Amino acid sequence: MRRLTYGWSPAGPALTIQLTGPLVIGYQFNWALYGVLCVQMYIYSQAGMPDSRVTKGIILWIFTLETLQTITATHDSFHELALSWGNFESLTELYLTWFTLPVLTGVISATIQCFYAWRIYVLSTSRILTLVIVLIALMQGAAAMAEGIQLLITQNVQGTQEDTFKTTAVWLGGTAFCDILISFCMVLLLSRNRRAGSRRQRQ
């Protein structure tokens, strides 16, 4: 007869808590933020914004991907914390994490960054700046998908940091740099346009 440990690992309760604690908090935050996103989508749909079909399509695409990510994350949480309760090894299984985290996150972030690159082009008409942002966004998105494929092939969750160190560095580093660059450009361009608008009003 198989002996269940009921959530406690042979290595001790501390190790089990280190594995399950972040999972529980992460899944709860994921659902909380998804609830906020649903409220935002409802407000947007009721506001009747005069956006183009392309913009509305991008918003619907992002919402669909976020919904898919929440579904796959819930699938993994149910397998880890419910169906496999008492089985310590299930906490280190891959499940759909290779798709939920690297692949979907990379696609979502790259799409949003490319959208902001287009907005920056509208405000600045700078093709070079826009091209730089798009290339960085596509690079980090490709690195995220490459990491997901690596995880799917190796199935080595415990050795993820060693196996995917380079792709993770490109993915997260590229994402951070692209977000900072977008934020800096948007603040600078909006401030400049605001000052120009104030001068026109005074004239």
Q: Where are the domains of the chain?
A: 7-93, 96-203
**pTM for the full model?**
0.84
pLDDT at 98: 92
Q: Rounded mean pLDDT of 35-54?
A: 93
Q: Rounded mean pLDDT of 157-169?
A: 83
More confident residue, 13 or 70: 70
pLDDT above 60 for 185: yes
pLDDT at 187: 93
Residue 126 CA to residue 153 CA, distance in Å, equals: 41
pLDDT at 183: 96
Task: Decide if 86 contacts 5 (C-beta within 8 A).
Answer: yes
pLDDT above 50 for 7: no
pLDDT above 90 for 17: no
Buried b (16+ CB within 10 A) or exposed e, 152-171: eeeeeeeebeebbeebbebb
